[in-house]
Amino acid sequence: MSFRKMLEDAWAGQNSLVCVGLDTDLKKIPVHLLSAERPIFEFNKAIVDATAEMVCAFKPQIAYYAARAAEDQLLATISYIHDKYPGIPVILDAKRGDIGATAELYAQEAFIRYGADAVTVNPYLGFDSVEPFLRYEDKGVVLLCRTSNPGAKDFQDLRVGTQTLYQHIAMTVSEKWNSRGNAMLVVGATYPKELAEVREIAPDVPFLVPGVGAQGGDVEAAVSNGKDRAGTGMVINSSRGIIYASSGKDFAEAARCEAMKLRDEINRFR
């Protein structure tokens, strides 16, 4: 099954646009898990089991695993999701971007080593750096466009002819790079006006939307400006706001409550 079909089925079957970000920091997980042989995996497993009913995707951020030499726990997390919740796609947040030969290896890392269903990619080296990822037709390639961080404007708002750089990226991805139908765009909830602009430029491209929850993005504005004609087209990510809802032994139940709350709030505005 292609990533796009998997995502569409998850939107419909789960009635959700929520993505839970598995940004698992050993400094923040409950103390009682630290004595486990694989504490990151045990935390993730509990979060996944608690929230799977409410989500359309999970998104582990690779830095939290690589910095701890915990790639085995990342692989175990992705394998667990695929085995127990095969209808829910996994987006590996790696933001890879390099010349073609290196990009081919990064694509193998994401799709073969880890078995991710999609990966985030930096487009700023151009098409030859992205094409090795796009070549995996059944996988998703999530390209940075208008990111949610405050410094996004430093470069992404620069003019390229009559457009801003992020508008040019959106147009290029929508009209040229998405020939296989497996591309997505990252557009932050913290910039609702830009969400609307990118949606107009790329009406049929799904968005990965970070920035709600801890970053303060407004859910109503994000959904109103980013949804597609079908009322879907968005994977709205929340990481810290869900997975660290409690630091106690009730952390999984607290995460479930926050995921449910976010799902229901998003659905009010679809």
Active-site annotation, residues: 95
Q: What is the reported pLDDT for 114?
A: 98
Residue 247 CB coordination number (10 Å): 12
Give the confidence band of 213 by pLDDT, cuts at 50, 70, 90: low
Instruction: State yes or no: pLDDT of 215 exceeds 80.
Output: no
Confidence of residue 212 (pLDDT cuts 50, 70, 90): confident
pLDDT at site 59: 98
pLDDT at 241: 94
User: Mean pLDDT, to the nearest integer, of 120-142?
Assistant: 97
- Mean pLDDT score of the chain, rounded to an integer? 96
Predicted confidence (pLDDT) per residue in 42-90, tens digit: 999 999 999 999 999 999 999 999 999 999 999 999 999 999 999 999 9
pLDDT digits (tens, 9 = 90+) for 82-93: 999 999 999 999
Neighbours of 225 (CB within 10 A): 22
The CATH number of 3-268, from 3.30.70.890, 3.90.1150.10, 3.30.420.280, 3.20.20.70, is 3.20.20.70
Residue 136 pLDDT > 70: yes
Per-residue confidence band for 214, with pLDDT thresholds at 50, 70 and 90: low
pLDDT in tens, 143-187: 999 999 999 999 999 999 999 999 999 999 999 999 999 999 999
229-246 pLDDT per residue, tens: 999 999 999 999 999 999
Domain boundaries, given as residue ranges, for the chain: 3-268
Specify the pTM.
0.97
Q: What percent of the chain has pLDDT over 90?
A: 97
Q: Give me the pLDDT at residue 217, please.
A: 78
